Structure 1
Amino acid sequence: MMMSVLVLAAALAAPSALPAAPHFETRPCLAPAVPRAVCGTVVVPEDRARPDGRRIALNVIVLKSATPATLPPLFDIEGGPGLPSTRSLGFYAGNGVAKGRDVVLVDQRGTGRSNGLLCPKLQTGPDVPMLPLAAVAECRKSLSAKADLRFYGTRDAVTDLDDVRRALGYRQIDLFGLSYGTTVALRFMHRYPDTVRAAVLMGVAPPDLLPPQHHATAADRTLKAVFADCAADARCRAAFPDLPAELAQARAKARRPGAKLADELLMERLRALTYRPASRVTLPLAIKRAAAGNVAELVATPSENLANLVADGMFLAVTCGESFPLMDYGAAVAAARRTPFGDYRLRRQKAACAGWPVVARDPDHLALPTRTSAAILLVSGELDPVTPSDLADRILPSLRRARHVVVPDGGHIPDGVSGVETCLDPLMIAFLDHADPSRLDVTCIAAMKGPPYAMQ
């Protein structure tokens, strides 16, 4: 009799012990209002082992389809790491993606309005080294008051995305991932292989990329390609006849006491120019001016981190907890020192990570989604300085239904290349419509071309 009572008591207690099902609660959207946008939150535990502990209200915007929705919703996953997806609302509202499908934007935990881990003092100025250690320590102390920094990595972000999917009532979804967002997307497809119908991954960063492990070597490849391309272009060659010599001259000036832009920061600013084709074509001119001592525009050039939006705390959580513990740091440093960019970024980030809490990580963090039946389109830029196309080539054989497209003259993003709106965007939308890599017509890609080099 006593045993029956205990069993009954346990059965009655079980439902309240289970975590509550995720729920989407709407709230007014921030101005400016976007038609068809529905804003709200999905509340999740910060530490899923302690469901009664601190909770995070994930900021979610659903851009409802302009026509009756007949296709799975598209979930956007931003890069950085540290950028909020909801910043892309205007982009999606202005193109043809949200026709026949909803578009779902989720600020990953630690970004945007999802308990954003911002530290403005960590943004680099012209005479401030990257990630100054005193500012990092101040950042860690201030953020620790509102967040357990161990739970802002990729593992928990992937679970959050599925919680949002369930809260919105979607059975199957499509994904668009950019840069670090492709890492999250690959992890999501590994964890939930039957949940994704199709995925577009741009600037593919496999889980074993471990940034900034290859930042210097990838950027060096792009720098050499720009030098070779300029030398082969009569107009560029006439204006910049010896770019390697001018770069050496610029670096010599940057090493002098009192230089406006120190050598290591000069190279970081030049590297940042290569991310977008629209800014990459200013690289020869920027080098020429720096050789003459004019670095005013480089000093004013913001980094690729988008200072007003990037969540430095989340960036550090991911790179400190998922990159440095797994990479061969000695080999990365040795390879970086063989390039003009050196090991500056590796050294600065490793030093910043010394006291940063290590995030919880999946045991199979480096695994690829080999079991998913999702149709996957990999999109790379020919001159990408951080996620070169060979990364996508390397993982392609592990994906069951995938195709890889390389954009001529493309960078980490294709901004500035001709044919983005008339070729690449329609191609990606068509792929998401039919989810069949074999039906994809990529003939227009060959005609895409970068802008001419800036002469003044």
Structure 2
Amino acid sequence: MAIIPAVSARPAKDPVVFMTGGPGGDAIGDIPFLIDSGLNRNRDLIVMAQRGTLHAEPNLACPEVDRFYADAVGLRYDAPSTGRLLVRATKECRHRLTRVTARGVELSAYNTTENAADFADLRRTLGIERWNVYGYSYGTDLALTYLRRHPRGVRSVAIDSVVPPQIVSLPWTWDSAGEGIRTIFAACAAQPRCKKRYPNLPRVLTEQVRRLEARPLTVMARPPAGGALVKVVLDGGALVNLLVANAVPAVDVPAALDELARGNPTRFARARAAGATPVVGEFAHGLTQSVACSEWVPGYTRADLLRAGRRAFPGFPDTVLAQAPQLPFEYDVCRAWSVPDRTAVQRVTTVSAVPALVLSGTFDAKTGARWGAYAARTLSRSTVVRIPGIGHWVVPQSPCAQNVLGSFLARPTSPDTRCVSGLSPKPFTITPTPETA
């Protein structure tokens, strides 16, 4: 746990506590982004490593899974053989961690309910009467759970890139992916130069996903950070997941798709190559699976997931749509992880009158922007803000969102949102046509 003092010489008495995403992210590693975003400008900032993550004991890191993902850049994304390797790595991690559970730690105890209770204990331990909660991505699921179960002492809640606990599931990931990608294409169509240069992006994407799924490309690519060339395989599933992960900046997506269609996969290949050099042991995949397998996966079948994929992208092959974005082979992984179903206590709507700020980026393909407004329906004193042209985790990317959050912390019931009305997505990258190049 870290406390970053306020910059102000006369800080407010109610600090901000941060809840990071993942699940499994390193909250301590997020501190530079939070400071740069002004979270400690007028208040102390409290950052705690969530249970099971880096800097916590035990740490549910899975180096076995990290190594799998490094190797997977050279494999078909959604091939059954790739899934078997992921399940094997997951089993190896679970077996190793289970040796820890013999000393009294249970993987099933790593869930959002217990995570929220840890933050309630932290407030009492620090003797803080009231504080403000800020969470992003999975941290919004956690923040809403915390608000529902431990409302005492909460002055305000800001949620950024929203994961409503009552709705999050594997099928939900396809809804978010479809919304985010379609919004990027619509923004291109709203810019005359982009529309003229790249007039049929939805069709191009569908054609390229189908082409790569039928005949994957194997190329050598240099990771964006430099280093040796890496063998990468681009199939339809890899392409879709690079878009969902914003691995290619949104402003470059139309150009990257056009280049791919013309035989140049460089932008996507380099983005895929970035996965070949992960920081082993930093991300807590064990917390990811303990939360996802107990709270997100139960109650929906593989057929439900496939139907959701077909609704979002009706022209994509079923082999792509059978895997949830960012969570491939999750049904098989969860069978190996084996934690009990907790949806009865976790898949619950948060109803609250605590002032809330709900931030979403219109280009977010992980947590679609419409889910912010959905969560706000039962937060009676909420302000909903959509930042055009921004993807996942809005505040560090948007000075306007930083100003809105700062004004919300100062006046939770009447934040200043005027900067939003003047925003529009940045101009998209326009490359010369082959005829004029």
SS in 1 for 2:179: helix
Alignment of 1:127-276 (within 5 A): 127=75, 129=77, 132-147=86-101, 148-251=106-209, 252-256=211-215, 259=218, 260-273=233-246
Quick one: distance in 1 between partners of 2:158 and 2:36? 19
Q: 1:216 to 1:300 in 2, by over 3 A?
A: same
Q: Within the alignment, does 1:454 sit opposite 2:400 as a pair?
A: no
Q: 1:445 to 1:232 in 2, by over 3 A?
A: closer
Q: Within the alignment, does 1:106 sit opposite 2:48 as a pair?
A: yes
Quick one: distance in 1 between partners of 2:207 and 2:5? 54
Q: 1:152 to 1:271 in 2, by over 3 A?
A: same
- Match of residue 125 from structure 1: 73
Q: 1:183 to 1:257 in 2, by over 3 A?
A: closer
Of residues 68, 75, 83, the one that matches 2:17 is 75
- Match of residue 426 from structure 1: 403
- Match of residue 225 from structure 2: none
What count of residue pairs does the alignment treat as equivalent? 388
Q: Give 1:285 deviation, angstroms.
A: 1.8
- Match of residue 54 from structure 1: none
Aligned residue identity for 2:242 = R
8 Å Cα contact 1:85-1:106 kept in structure 2: yes
- Match of residue 32 from structure 2: 90
SS in 1 for 2:134: strand
Question: Identity of aligned pairs, percent?
Answer: 25
Aligned residue identity for 1:344 = Q
Q: Give 1:108 deviation, angstroms.
A: 0.7
Q: 1:331 to 1:141 in 2, by over 3 A?
A: same
Q: 1:243 to 1:415 in 2, by over 3 A?
A: farther
SS in 1 for 2:73: coil
Q: Give 1:394 deviation, angstroms.
A: 2.4
Q: Give 1:281 deviation, angstroms.
A: 1.5
8 Å Cα contact 1:173-1:197 kept in structure 2: yes
- Match of residue 410 from structure 1: 390
- Match of residue 34 from structure 1: none
* Higher Rg of the two aligned structures: 1
Q: Which moved more, 1:295-304 or 1:312-321?
A: 295-304
Q: 1:450 to 1:86 in 2, by over 3 A?
A: same
Aligned residue identity for 2:60 = L
Quick one: distance in 2 between partners of 1:232 and 1:159? 46
Q: CA RMSD in A?
A: 2.7
8 Å Cα contact 2:395-2:402 kept in structure 1: no
Quick one: distance in 2 between partners of 1:287 and 1:150? 42
8 Å Cα contact 1:82-1:315 kept in structure 2: yes
Deviations 1:248-273 (A, max 9, x none): 44331442166431222222112222
Q: Which moved more, 1:216-225 or 1:239-248?
A: 239-248
Quick one: distance in 2 between partners of 1:106 and 1:268? 30
SS in 2 for 1:175: strand
TM-score, reference length from structure 2: 0.80
- Match of residue 339 from structure 2: 358
8 Å Cα contact 2:11-2:43 kept in structure 1: yes
Q: 1:95 to 1:265 in 2, by over 3 A?
A: closer
8 Å Cα contact 2:28-2:47 kept in structure 1: yes
- Match of residue 323 from structure 2: 344
Q: Give 1:447 deviation, angstroms.
A: 1.0
- Match of residue 7 from structure 1: none
8 Å Cα contact 1:273-1:283 kept in structure 2: no
8 Å Cα contact 1:317-1:359 kept in structure 2: no
Q: Within the alignment, does 1:380 sit opposite 2:360 as a pair?
A: yes
SS in 2 for 1:193: coil
Q: Give 1:95 deviation, angstroms.
A: 4.5
Alignment of 1:28-39 (within 5 A): none
Q: Give 1:79 deviation, angstroms.
A: 0.9
- Match of residue 434 from structure 2: none
8 Å Cα contact 1:82-1:310 kept in structure 2: yes
Q: Within the alignment, does 1:395 sit opposite 2:375 as a pair?
A: yes
TM-score, reference length from structure 1: 0.77
Aligned residue identity for 2:215 = R
- Match of residue 65 from structure 1: 6
Q: Which runs of 5+ in 2 are unaligned?
A: 219-232, 432-437
Quick one: distance in 2 between partners of 1:359 and 1:71? 41
Q: Give 1:373 deviation, angstroms.
A: 4.0
SS in 2 for 1:435: coil
8 Å Cα contact 2:36-2:396 kept in structure 1: no
Q: Give 1:237 deviation, angstroms.
A: 2.8
Quick one: distance in 2 between partners of 1:237 and 1:425? 31
Relative contact order, CA 8 A, sep 6+: which one is greater? Answer: 2
Q: Give 1:415 deviation, angstroms.
A: 7.3
Aligned residue identity for 1:98 = N
Q: Give 1:177 deviation, angstroms.
A: 0.7
Q: Which moved more, 1:85-94 or 1:323-332?
A: 323-332
Quick one: distance in 2 between partners of 1:199 and 1:416? 17
Aligned residue identity for 2:387 = V
Quick one: distance in 1 between partners of 2:127 and 2:353? 21
Q: Which moved more, 1:240-249 or 1:143-152?
A: 240-249
SS in 2 for 1:210: coil
Alignment of 1:287-366 (within 5 A): 287-301=257-271, 307-308=278-279, 309-327=282-300, 329-338=302-311, 339=313, 340=316, 342-345=321-324, 348-358=329-339, 361=342, 363-366=344-347
Aligned residue identity for 2:405 = M
Aligned residue identity for 1:358 = V
Deviations 1:272-319 (A, max 9, x none): 228xxx811211122122223433432332689x94343211111111
- Match of residue 252 from structure 2: 282
Q: 1:291 to 1:230 in 2, by over 3 A?
A: same
Q: Which runs of 5+ in 1 are unaligned?
A: 1-59
Aligned residue identity for 1:379 = L
